A and B are shown apart, each in its own frame.
Chain A
Amino acid sequence: MQLLDSEWFFRMVEQQEHTPAARLVAIFTVAGQWISAPGIKDMFAGRQNMQATARLKHYLIETAQSAKADNPAMLATQLLILLQGAIAEELRDPGASALQNAAMAAQAVVVRACSSHGRKRAVRWSAMASVVLAVTAALIWQVRPPAPTISPASAMAMQRSPYIRAAEHTMPMGINPSELEAALNLQEKFDRGICPAPHLLALPQGQVTAYMNVINFRTPENPAADRENLHAFLVWFNQAQASECYYAPSNGHTLVTWR
């Protein structure tokens, strides 16, 4: 579960949803996307140590606190139990939609834990949106060949909830999570002026598309091409441009401030 500890995972969760309660449920959506990314299942092969990392637990406790859960530590443990069970089941039997079902369970427990302050409704709505997102996203994947059968449970969940909205931020399919994270970090450096942003017109068109898809969380039309192009872009940037990045010393001694 080490990858569930990385920066991009939390970033995806925050992008996906904006209320703490809904984020607690969105963890399952993002983990579902992550586990269906190529090569991830192989990483788990033959490993017993799928323990949740301290950082994930910390994140869950903090988010549960912001969601005003009655007992944040308990809610965090319960969500971790669900998540670990769902990942193990997903690895053993990918057709069982374990993460979707876990998302629904998470919603039930989040609603219950955060319901004692008269905000039950709001929580239920935002958490519901997250589950719908999970279901929608799962349906999108299931359309891709080879298409496993859509479980009756998830079909039912879709019928019952009229709040279906399109998945806004699905993980760019087929992109290696560490390169995804590298691209997102790079974008932050451009934004903060640490690194000079490359002139997009001077780059190969495919690389621009791949990069823009990642930073805007768009689902690419051609995931395989995006994967190669993003890799090529990152390699090129590291070789040709990374030396021009300027990292201000953290003690602030030579930091120039503009007034």
Chain B
Amino acid sequence: MADIVRFDNIHKIYEMGAEPVRALDGVSISFQKGSFWAIMGPSGSGKSTMMNLLGCLDRPTSGRYFLEDKDVSTLDDDALSDIRLRYIGFIFQSFNLIPQLTVQKNIELPLYYLGWDAEKSAKKAQELAAKVGLETRLNHRPSELSGGQMQRVAVARSLAANPHIILADEPTGNLDSHTGNQIMDILTGLNKEGTTIIMITHEPDIASFAHNRLHMKDGLVERIEKN
């Protein structure tokens, strides 16, 4: 299968204080289309930096990042925004829903930036809410939902623009193990439908849902394991 993501000798160096921090120190790796990866490692190992680069929220200091064979490592802010909008769906540990918007409006958010009209967006949001089992909560605000429900809204939102990759940053970190497993079931289902999933986690149980595990250490790939 084709590579969806390819890192070619990626460095990310932060100039903070006297000593530059080498968050990523020459990472070369590729992820195949339709795969399910877990990125693991202790804090400071570079996994968050890896996530920011994968999600086009940041640019590497050096090296090249190919997303579906397109070099995105030197794109400007507007172009990167567009890549995020069309290719990537984010799921965060702390859900990151917009508190003043209803469930439906939160799910519609990417569609708004894609320029969809209100009617079409609403229909899509309802479909996605049904998919994650929240069709009865469309008009609730995030504050009225449980943690598991909020994360399901976030999953629905990440799917709205039909992304090619879902990036999940500790998606179960704020959930108990039961609701965490529910979220993982949803992600596994999505992967089975063909969506590439890259997930950061430090919990081996959660990582076991993925096909491959990438262990990071000191800004380098330590080892790769297959489940």
Partners in one complex: no
The interface of chain A, by Cβ under 8 A from chain B, is none
